[in-house]
Amino acid sequence: MDMMPLDLPTLFPLLLALLATALLLLRRQKHPKNVCCNVPKGTMGWPFIGETLEFLSPHRSNSIGTFLQQRCSRYGKVFKSHLFGSPAIVSCDNEFNMFILQNEGKLFQASYPKAMQGILGQYSLLIVSGEHHRKLRGIAVSFSAMSKSSPVFHSRIEKLAFSMLESWRGRKEIAFLEEMKKFTLSLMVKTVLSIDPEEPVAMRFLQDFRTYMKGFISLPLNVPGSAYAKAVKARARLSRTVKEIIKQREMTNTTTTSSGEENGDFLEVILSKHSSIRQMNDDEKVSSVLDIVLGGYETTSTLISLVVYFLHRSPAALLAFKEEHEAIRRNKGKGQPLGWEDYQKMDFTRNVTKEAVRCGNLVKFLHRKALQDVEFKGHLIPRGWKVLPVLAGPNLDPSLHHDHLQFNPWRWTEDKEIGKKTMGYGGGPRVCPGSDLAKVMVAFFLHHLVLAYRWKVKEDEYPIAYPYVEFRNGLHVEIEPVESHV
């Protein structure tokens, strides 16, 4: 007897069952029953999107948010989820986070969503790995180490700080975060490319860069008119601008600006004849420039804003902070610029900055991927799964910090182990290469701010993780000038 043909409605459930069986067998073959049970507990959420929307839900940045609180309470500090289109292990555990970051390139690897790669470019420090990453990061670290104690760099900070503070005269209220973004972006463009803010090319660069930045917090929809599509186009324009500047610098072969000032900028470093740098192609140079500007612009402006926010809420810390800067100013002649030796005296300022990073959580989490099956304290992290170390977890862990929600700069001298219990700038081979440069920028600007103005933060303001830190209303601050200290 002939077999009856199978129509599509009959065939589809059969194929679906066969596919499910094949996937189950493959999973069991890859992770035996006695092993896969050790994958951390958790929930996977909806198909494809998983729990991504809940994970990214905005919350006060001086907390870990409802999503993490609930899951840590239910499953522990390490749990499984489904995030950014992939099964994932999420960690709020300090020891596990350090293990992940210290094993970069061995057991784990940076793995950012493709949407971010479309904006950052294939040669961004956030994207590349292995020897390529070590080479590009080494250049950034070298520039940061050279610049942080440079009088030229210090002079640039102070010149722009004076200009901004003077522009506030006669104003009673400012949108502080927006002002800090103007300050840090202008400073980074000057430091990286030796372009003054008032130059036409600088204005074009600044406008494109702001559009570029908006792409990081937009839906990854590359359709005409979307913020993401505009960011991709802005990145292309920035690339062309940087390449034009590189070409002009190479043609003139000059080390000074039009005003006769030494460049001493990042572009000068990447155009040097050092063998490892000479091998960089133009796209690598462009990515290196944008990475440095990005790091110095976004996180530094937010960090200054967090310091201002938390100092307003801690009168004792603000008083100690101001006294430190008054003492430094008393020991300098009228109009004498700040120098490296002054920064080294700013012990309490550095503690204030570190505490603002701990409480405000500049970076909530990092993107990693397991390169192989990894076992840690009885947990299995399957090969290919995303791994998200949440830096805010250890920073706000009540088992690690006394009064963990309290802004207390003195804890950085009282607790000798606190550096091992906080994660402000990442860790391991990918720790932020420009963090030391940013600390000098923050300290020098705040020196002049605290001596020039009193401020009061609006009551309805607080930092929010989006996951990038913003303020509820842009950090509107009431200001009142004090006697000139210049």
Taking only the tens place, the pLDDT of each residue in 119-167 is 888 888 888 888 888 888 888 888 888 889 999 999 999 999 999 999 9
Cβ-proximal residues to 140 (8 Å cutoff; 6+ apart), any chain: 125, 288, 291, 292, 433, 434
pLDDT tens for each residue of 163-195: 999 999 999 999 999 999 999 999 999 998 888
pLDDT at 273: 58
CA atoms within 13 A on the CB side of 341: 6
Which residues fall within 8 angstroms of residue 50, CB to CB, at 6 or more apart? 44, 81, 82, 83, 85, 88
The mean predicted confidence, pLDDT, of the chain is 85
The pLDDT of 470-485, averaged and rounded, is 87
User: Can you tell me the distance from the alpha carbon of 440 to that of 427, in angstroms, rounded to the nearest whole number?
Assistant: 20
pLDDT in tens, 31-50: 434 445 599 999 999 888 89
Helices 435-452 and 315-330, axial angle in degrees (round to 10): 90
Strand partners, 370: 108
Per-residue pLDDT at 10: 37
466 or 480, greater pLDDT: 480
Cβ(282)–Cβ(243) below 8 Å: yes
Three-class DSSP labels, 342-368: HHHCCHHHHHHHHHHHHHHCCCCECCE
Q: What is the mean pLDDT of residues 404-419?
A: 95
Tell whether 92 is in a known binding site.
Answer: no
Q: What is the pTM of this model?
A: 0.87
State the pairing for strand pair 173-175/374-376: unpaired
pLDDT for the residue numbered 17: 40
Residue type for position 126: L
- Average pLDDT, integer, range 416-445: 88
Helices and strands of the chain, counted as H and E runs: 21, 13
| Pairing mode, strands 86-91 and 173-175 | unpaired
CB atoms within 10 A of CB 99: 18
Radius of gyration (Cα) for the chain, nearest Å? 25
